[in-house]
Every structure is written in structure tokens, then in C-alpha cells.
Chain A
Amino acid sequence: KAGVTQTPRYLIKTRGQQVTLSCSPISGHRSVSWYQQTPGQGLQFLFEYFSETQRNKGNFPGRFSGRQFSNSRSEMNVSTLELGDSALYLCASLPGSTRNTEAFFGQGTRLTVV
């Protein structure tokens, strides 16, 4: 079974630009969660999508958005990039509910904003 695929692995963007990151979950998994990881803050929850609907949302500004397609692949978008958005963005794939199941993570996308 193929794992969770995140693309691209690395990105360098300029302040003010926007960026789109992609996550393909494990086949059959319907839930995709996104996390931002920075050295000082650990993993911060961004949002979760389940069956093309946003099910949960973290405390991030509206510049951060996402969506999920019918094949469960998910994208997240960050508009008007700021230096503080530099981070490792991780997506996690789950079958559906978080109840007593493990999350499978992709390798992440390292975003650098200059």
C-alpha cells in the first residue's frame, strides 16, 4: 500500500506570494489533516478535511485555506506569504474517524519564505 505523498518536498517563495501544497493520502483513507511545524511551536493543527468537507479548523488566519477532492487528495493554500510562514507542513492521513486509529504522515513540505 502506497504511503502518504506530499508535493513538493521543498519550496522557496518570496513574501507576498502565494503557495499551494498537495497531499495524497493512503488509498481508502478519507480524512486528511494538515499541521504546521516550526522549531518554537511544535506541531500546530491547521485543518482537517473529511469527504471533501472541512471538519475541523485550527487557529490560523484566513490566509491559510484548504480543500479536498473527491479522490481524497487535499491541497492547502497560503496567500500573501509572510516570513513567519516558513515551516515544515505535514499532512496526516486517517481512515475516517480519529477514534483509536493511528495517523499516517507524509514526509512534509519544507516551505521557506524569503
Chain B
Amino acid sequence: SQQGEEDPQALSIQEGENATMNCSYKTSINNLQWYRQNSGRGLVHLILIRSNEREKHSGRLRVTLDTSKKSSSLLITASRAADTASYFCATDLRSGNTPLVFGKGTRLSVIA
């Protein structure tokens, strides 16, 4: 079963608006990562937030992590048409050398 679950499954916004995607997970993590995938291509790493961090910024991206609620959010500010893609959260579990576990993703459409 999926460790992470993104919400919403799909999101459609106008260019210039902000987009917020959420991720919930089930077990203790070492870190949580967000990736982006353009249609039918490989995933590109966006940002990594460690379990002892609460917020992280990278350009127009802002990620928050609430380990007590086992949830994270990704905010993209001032969205552009080029931000249209699927966004996935991935959890690096605390136990051993386990692989990254991905959610099913949020499909973001930014309309120009």
C-alpha cells in the first residue's frame, strides 16, 4: 500500500495563482521529498525536508512538515503554465535502508 497520499488528486488554477498540495503518510520518516513529473517522463527532485525541520523554501516553492500530524504541504506561488505537471511526495522511512516510497501524485494544471 502507498505510504504517502497526495491531496487533491487533481488541481486546476489560473496562472499567477498559488497552488497548494498536501501529502499524508503513515509511519515515522527520516525525511520527506517532493518530486515533479512532466507528462510521461522521469521525476525531477524539487525539495527535501528532514524530520526535524518544519519549513523549507526553494525559489517559488515552500514546503512544510508536521510530523505530529504526519503531513506535508507543497506551495507553489505565482504559478506559471510551465508548472503544469504531476507532483509526488516521497517518504524516506526511518527504519533501515528502505527505498523511497511514493504517493500517487497530484496532477496540477495551470491555465494561461
Q: What are 22 A-to-B residue pairs whose CB atoms are below 8 Å? A: A41-B104, A42-B88, A45-B99, A45-B100, A50-B97, A55-B97, A56-B97, A56-B99, A98-B30, A98-B92, A98-B97, A98-B99, A99-B97, A100-B30, A100-B48, A103-B90, A105-B35, A107-B41, A108-B40, A108-B41, A108-B42, A110-B40
What is the CA–CA distance of A98 and B99 in the complex, to the nearest angstrom?
7
Shortest C-beta distance, A63 to chain B (Å), equals: 20
Chain B interface (Cβ < 8 Å from any Cβ of A): 2, 30-31, 33, 35, 40-45, 48, 50, 88, 90, 92, 97-105
* Interchain CB contact under 8 A, A102 and B33: yes
Within the complex, what minimum Cβ distance (angstroms) separates B51 from chain A? 10
- Interface 1/0 per residue, A95-114 and B, CB below 8 Å: 00111101111111010000
Task: Give the shortest distance, in Å, between B103 (CB) and chain A (any CB).
Answer: 6
In the complex the two chains form, is B42's CB within 8 Å of A106's CB? yes
Chain A residues near B2: list those with CB within 8 A.
42
CB-defined contacts of B44 to chain A, threshold 8 Å: 105
Chain A interface helix/strand/loop/mixed: strand
Interface residue? A90 (CB, 8 A): yes
8 A Cβ contacts from A55-110 to B: 55-56, 58, 88, 90, 92, 97-100, 102-108, 110
Given known A-B contacts A100-B31, A100-B92, A105 and B42 have beta carbons under 8 A apart: yes
In the complex, the chain A residue whose C-beta lies closest to that of B96 is: A56
> Which listed residue (A43, A98, A106, A107) contacts B88, Cβ 8 A?
A43
Known: A42-B103, A43-B102. A102 touches B45 (CB 8 A): yes
Docked CA distance A108–B105 (Å): 17
Indicate if the CB atoms of B101 and A45 lie closer than 8 Å. Answer: yes
- With A42-B105, A110-B40 as known contacts, state yes or no: A104 contacts B100, CB within 8 Å: no
Q: Is A22 an interface residue (CB 8 A)?
A: no
Known: A108-B40, A108-B41, A110-B40. A103 touches B100 (CB 8 A): yes
